A = this chain, B = another copy of it.
Amino acid sequence: MVKSASWAPPGAIVIEEALAALQFDGQGLIPAVAQDATDGRVLMLAWMNRDAVRASLETGRVTYWSRSRAALWRKGDTSGHTQTLVNFRIDCDGDSILLLVEQVGAACHTNRHTCFYRELGPDEWVEIVGPDIKP
């Protein structure tokens, strides 16, 4: 399902002031949780540095920092599975981010809608599929 972009970028000064409220860790990173704005499913947890936050806010295209590749990672550039920003929220301590997003296709590189597809059952990890994954 392809949706139109819905993000109205704040101005550059607002973005810089917004960045000042964020607490980055010793590696200059902050965890960001992406939640599907349509159905509330938690899709993934990834990391942002200052440039990733800035790029996400400026463009509305969610951009993370890939720790394994040590590079900016604009979600969907290779897979087509983009995330468009709907809301950008931070927690009470300013040390984690919640992104409400419009997710195109699968959020997970395994082609599942969400990365959180394993749930601990009575005996082992079980894969949850389909509508069951919605809380």
Is A110 on the interface with B (CB-CB < 8 A)? yes
A10 contacts across to B, CB distance below 8 A: 120-123
What is the total number of copies of this protein in its complex?
2
Nearest CB of B to A122, in Å? 6
**Do most interface residues of chain A lie in helix, strand or loop, or is the interface mixed?**
loop
Is A73 on the interface with B (CB-CB < 8 A)? no
By size class, the interface of chain A is 35 or more
Contact residues of A with B, CB < 8 Å? 8, 10, 14, 17-18, 21, 31, 33, 35-42, 44-45, 57, 87-93, 96, 98, 100, 108-110, 112, 115-125, 128, 134-135
What are 7 contact pairs spanning A and B, CB under 8 A? A10-B120, A31-B96, A40-B41, A40-B134, A88-B120, A90-B125, A100-B135
